[in-house]
Chains A and B, each alone.
Chain A
Amino acid sequence: MIELENVAYSYGGGELLSEVSLKLSPGSFHFLTGPSGSGKTTFLRLCYGALTPTAGHAQLFGRDVRDMTRDDVAMTRRRIGVVHQDCQFLDHLPLAENVALPLIVSGRDTLQEQTNLKDLLGWCGLSHRAKALPPELSGGERQRAALARAVIMSPDVILADEPTGNVDYEMSQRLMTLLIELNRMGKTIMIATHDLGIIRSTKSQVQARVLRIVNRRLQLAGADL
């Protein structure tokens, strides 16, 4: 699905990531760890085509990112749900419409998906906030809304950058349960986090692999985690 081959990325200056190779197969569950500033977010951006590698090849769904037009990238994003660390929304639209935004931009009938939307908001504990505008939401609520928005299209891959960063333990468990549930349905999941507790509790429920960025390189972490 997502294949990186000897990928390097530099923002000018030195390389932030080098010789990164990874193959995300369908249904896999990955954690991505590493000290802050090590390039976790950049790595995720490479995975959804927001950045083009400065060296090496990145393939999304069998196509090289360099050969993709902007429309191709857009179509690919409909199959990859992304949760950003700083979740951005359309601040003038209520939360429910923000969550349904991927449906709107892909031209789906939002009326038909109303029940799905309701269920999803319920699942994320956001039903009572459906009419609130994004600036009125708390950090945790924004995070949950971003996750709901990322999964509403039922994407093949879900990439999440610190999805549990702003939520309490109970809610983070709940979000993880949602992600594990999606993984069991065959979705590929990649979560960047430095919360080892989350990784441990998840590993007891699914077979998750832990990737770690050390010295600009991607390593498969040992079984000690």
Chain B
Amino acid sequence: MKALRDRFNTLMSGEGPADRVVPPTGFTASLTLFASAVMAFLAVFALALSLATGRLAHDWGAELARSATLRISAPEDQIEAQTQAALRVLETTEGVATARALGSDEQRALLAPWFGPDLPVDELPIPQLIEIVEEPQGFDAAGLRLRLQAEVPGAVLDDHSRWRRPLVRAAERLRALGWLSILLIGGAMGAVITLAANAALAANAQVITVLRLVGARDVFIARAFVRRFTIRALVGAGIGMIAGCLAILALPAAQDEGGFLTGLGFQGLQWLWPLVVPPVAAAVAFWATRSAANRTLKDLA
């Protein structure tokens, strides 16, 4: 660990004499800086997407799993009796925390988005809804269905799993896509930096020849290049990360109406995640430049 820290310190300590052996390259330097900034910016977004969809999948799964609905469709004169029977069944069902028949006001509110506020609920043959709140361990839906069939023929149990599953699955896919994007961004950044490093190595062929002639080991030559690209990637990714975070801060806050799109962002400790981006970018640059340098040097006399 100490050896590693020492290596890191020598890597990061400012311009030593060893650094000056490679001529400064203004243009490619700023390009590398720009590329890593862009990659970090995108990585922050992919990260936000992954975390937000992960959160979403969890929330949807948890919220919907805790509730179920019982729908009773029966001739008008039997509805009241069947509702009472259903409530009795539910009260004795293990795993059901509360069961409550919705009042007509609540039913009207539920239907309002579809039929408008002036719906005469009382005059329509609308099924009675019973809201079931589950205990954490949940209840046996299949068993409950059988019992209801026997005692309340007009009851249909909807435990929401039918439309919960595709939603949760979609959210999980999105999250996987987000992580995949992060991997791809990292790979693309490695490729860009490898190209830049190869260009730098090719442009400095004479420098490398001279250094070899006077007895420089490959490690020494590679280090001069590796340090530059690592620092550039670190600085660039830092800038990109800050820009990405600011952009996410500027997004409108999560709203019920907006659904998941406006929920894109970080919450609480998740804000620490973007901080990981610059060091990872630096590590990618370090590895990419080092392998490029070693590959190039091996082919030289």
Binding site for B on A (CB under 8 A): 50-51, 70-71, 74-78, 82, 84, 88-93, 97, 101-102, 104-106, 110, 149, 153
Contacts and interface: CB of A to CB of B under 8 A. Distances in A.
Which of A70, A97, A153 gathers the greatest number of chain B CB atoms within 10 Å?
Answer: A70
Contacts of B213: 50, 77, 82, 84, 88
Q: Is the interface of B mostly helix, strand, loop or mixed?
A: helix
B17 A75 contact: no
Given A74-B212, A74-B217, A75-B215, A104 B206 contact: no
A91 B21 CA distance: 10
B3 interface: no
Interface string B11-47: 0000001101101100000000000000000000000
Given A71-B219, A77-B215, A105-B21, 8 more contacts: A50-B213, A70-B298, A74-B215, A74-B218, A84-B213, A90-B21, A90-B211, A104-B17
B297 interface: yes
A50 B215 contact: no
A99 to B, nearest CB: 10
Which of A89, A91, A105, A153 gathers the greatest number of chain B CB atoms within 10 Å?
Answer: A105
Contact of B212 (A77, A84, A93): A77
Interface in B192-216: 206-207, 209-216
B298 A90 contact: no
B220 interface: yes
Given A70-B298, A77-B215, A105-B220, A110 B210 contact: no
**Those 10 A-B pairs whose CB atoms lie nearest each other, nearest first:** A105-B216, A77-B215, A78-B215, A92-B23, A102-B214, A74-B217, A104-B17, A88-B210, A50-B301, A71-B217
Given A90-B23, A97-B20, A110-B17, A105 B215 contact: yes
A18 to B, nearest CB: 21
A78 B211 CA distance: 11
Nearest to B298: A70
B206 A93 contact: no
B20 A93 contact: yes
A90 B210 CA distance: 7
The range of chain B's interface size is 20 to 34
A149 B218 contact: no
B267 to A, nearest CB: 50
Which of B24, B211, B217 gathers the greatest number of chain A CB atoms within 10 Å?
Answer: B217
Nearest to A49: B301
A102 B211 CA distance: 8
A105 B297 contact: no
A164 to B, nearest CB: 20
B90 to A, nearest CB: 79
Contacts of B220: 105
A104 B216 CA distance: 9
Contacts of A77: 212-215
28 contacts: A50-B213, A70-B218, A70-B298, A71-B217, A71-B218, A74-B215, A74-B217, A76-B215, A77-B215, A82-B213, A88-B209, A88-B210, A88-B213, A90-B211, A91-B23, A91-B206, A92-B24, A93-B20, A97-B17, A97-B20, A101-B214, A104-B18, A105-B21, A105-B214, A106-B216, A110-B17, A149-B214, A153-B215
Contacts of A82: 213
Contacts of A102: 214-215
Which of B20, B21, B220 gathers the greatest number of chain A CB atoms within 10 Å?
Answer: B21
